[in-house]
Amino acid sequence: MSLLYLCGSKIFMIQFILFGPPGSGKGTQAAKLAEKYDLYHISTGDLFRSETANKTTLGLKALEYMSQGQLVPDEITIGMLKNKISNLSEVSGFIYDGFPRTNPQAEALDCLLQESNQAIDLLLSLEVPEDEIVKRILNRGKTSGRPDDNDEAIIRKRIQVYLDETSIVFEHYAKLGKSRHINGIGTIEEIFERLCFELDQICK
């Protein structure tokens, strides 16, 4: 019995999207939030990198897109996410990091959640200016071992793809009153506190 999250006196399962452009700090913050709120952290980027490292058919296909700074096609991404979620039990909520990245992905996630009478509770979008993002990713590239973090042209392509294809997902959940902007500039702890403040609101 664990599909429920005890938050104050209320019990429910949290479905939370951490949103924002590449390099905005989603991965770092998601790991901290997952620990504090006992959420299962799903990063589609990490899932793809693990598939790639294991040289699976899916991983090799995904690599073709990732190395160019493009999105992996929805069909592959949605299939992988469904597969991951359906194999999980004993979790008290989810934090989605890097998913959904297109409107069809958002719709697929909504349908999947609906099957168990659930819905996204909150989307928090980390706001960081483009030049700061490029600086952060190039810096991360020195140690991340990610080829897509080492080439400024690929980084700028990823930001463009975010603006063209991903940023509209914010509106999808804003229409439902679920989306909020968060200032993504500051120390890791400062940004973490801003995110926690918003998450605490939905627990009240």
Q: Residue 149 CB: number of other CB atoms within 10 A?
A: 20
Q: Where are the alpha helices (DSSP H) in the chain?
A: 26-37, 44-53, 57-66, 74-86, 103-114, 130-144, 152-161, 168-174, 188-203
Residue 18 falls in which region: left (phi positive, over 0), alpha (psi -120 to 50) or beta: beta
Is the Cβ–Cβ distance between 29 and 127 less than 8 Å? no
Contact 19, 169 (CB under 8 A): yes
Q: Taking contact as CB under 6 A, which single stretch among the options 2-10, 67-75, 118-126, 182-190 is the one that binds ligand ADP? A: 67-75
Q: Tokens 């928090």 map to which residue?
A: 124
Please report whether residue 30 would count as binding ligand ADP according to CB under 6 A.
no
Nearest distance, CB of residue 119 and ligand ADP, angstroms: 19
28 binds ligand ADP (CB under 6 A): no
Closest approach, Cβ 98 to ligand ADP, in A, equals: 3
> With binding defined as CB under 6 A, does residue 44 bind ligand ADP?
yes
Residues in contact with ligand ADP, counted by CB under 6 A, come to a total of 18
Q: How far apart are CA 176 and CA 2, in angstroms?
A: 27
- Choose the catalytic residue: 49, 101, 136, 178: 101
Q: Which of residues 117-176 bind ligand ADP (CB under 6 A)?
A: 158
Binding of ligand ADP by 23 (CB under 6 A): yes
- Asked if 26 is an active-site residue, the reply is yes
140 is catalytic: yes
Closest distance to ligand ADP from the beta carbon of 203 (Å) = 26
Report, as residue numbers or ranges, the catalytic residues. 26, 101, 140, 146, 158
